[in-house]
Structure 1
């Protein structure tokens, strides 16, 4: 399962992950109270958790590397604009998202985002992808067994 998430192609595995979020009534990344389902219905933004421009400025120029499915999350347009091209640890601080806040931690869980993101920058991108793929695969597996 994790191996199938090592792609930049939006396809069946990505849609299964989104179905999982819809079934669980998950909120979009950093987007409480808007659900993933609402965002999909209203054409919410697919956000790069490590912003594409941030990665490009730091030498990740291959589309296959920055457009990894594990780097995508549904987010409200207003939040996506605020995030801009900052590192995760910088935009989380800007948005006052704290790892001590239960609601923020639940949002990370809903979106299969590792809490290590609070301290991550460019040097941690590959580790982030690895951790997120594991969380996404677990979420998909749990969804499958709930059917």
Structure 2
């Protein structure tokens, strides 16, 4: 009688090897490295009057966000503080990103950098970048 062949045996072995490699990889990365690897998601849109930027910053306090413009570059930076993990709450793994973040955007030529406004609400940073009103550059020359 022929022995039973398990067609999934090799797949289970491969899965075990990959799983153990991932566990070693997670253990090899120090906590401080995990804390600095994140970039917030950004949505951008525009209309005739302004550009709008929405930055997802759940868990980031308003005081921990910095928005500035320098040399026509809009920089959004800050830090999300690490939540203290309580062992008795049954945490097995934490996948939230903590630490410093920064996103930079080159402003369009028609952006009015002097009138940019920012508002943080419900874990989202809303930035409004008004467009410069185009003025007629035609000057009537008086004939003498």
Larger radius of gyration: 2
Q: Which has the higher strand share?
A: 2
Which structure exhibits the higher relative contact order, with contacts defined as CA atoms closer than 8 Å and separated by 6 or more residues?
Answer: 1
TM bracket, shorter-chain basis: under 0.3
TM-score by length of structure 1 reads 0.21
Q: Which has the higher helix share?
A: 1
TM-score by length of structure 2 reads 0.21
